[in-house]
Structure 1
């Protein structure tokens, strides 16, 4: 299975994602912020990354930019707990912005386990199908 790096400042989110992915057979490494995540990424080889957009210190967008400078084709799933506002006057939609900047998928927190696993499977399958082109970006929003 895949080796996945999860970068999120919320330890409960880290633990949840790690548990779900390890139960699905993946190897998971976690980091609590963008700087630590970048250092771990540079020291290892990963098949997929999860990046929280809003973290203290180095945020997920900056970490994604630096990671893509080193490995432009690494698939990155961005996450955010901030609500998606369809009204641009209320602020930008950071998940959509992140996919335009190179993330292959995005997840709105809180998300359902099935949505997380489907997103991971879709991203890994897309990489297998074509390592030379990125998968279409999409946002996964959890619902009731």
Structure 2
């Protein structure tokens, strides 16, 4: 599905968010502090066309809804990709 960067200094929060998003089929990168997160975000934004960020607090259903909304926006604004979604 999506490549998502989690930036949080609390390992328990990292784990919770990771479990929610991995169960939904997303690929994750985790940064344990803001400096590392910013560097990772800039790399991902350039490479993957990052579309949004989200701050705490949030509920699991709100997190998943935000990810789905971003994915929908990104897919509708980009041209169709050959073999998109087939794992090719």
Same fold (TM over 0.5): yes
* Distance in structure 2 (CA, Å) of the matches to 1:76 and 1:32: 19
* Distance in structure 2 (CA, Å) of the matches to 1:125 and 1:9: 29
- Higher relative helix content: 2
The count of corresponding residues between Structure 1 and Structure 2 is 77
**1:38 deviation in Å?**
2.9
- Higher relative strand content: 1
**1:116 deviation in Å?**
0.8
Aligned to 1:34: 34
Aligned to 2:19: 19
Describe the SS at the equivalent of 2:9: coil
Q: Which runs of 5+ in 2 are unaligned?
A: 79-88
RMSD: 2.2
**1:36 deviation in Å?**
1.0
TM-score when normalising by structure 1: 0.47
**1:35 deviation in Å?**
1.4
* Distance in structure 2 (CA, Å) of the matches to 1:23 and 1:78: 19
* Distance in structure 2 (CA, Å) of the matches to 1:77 and 1:37: 12
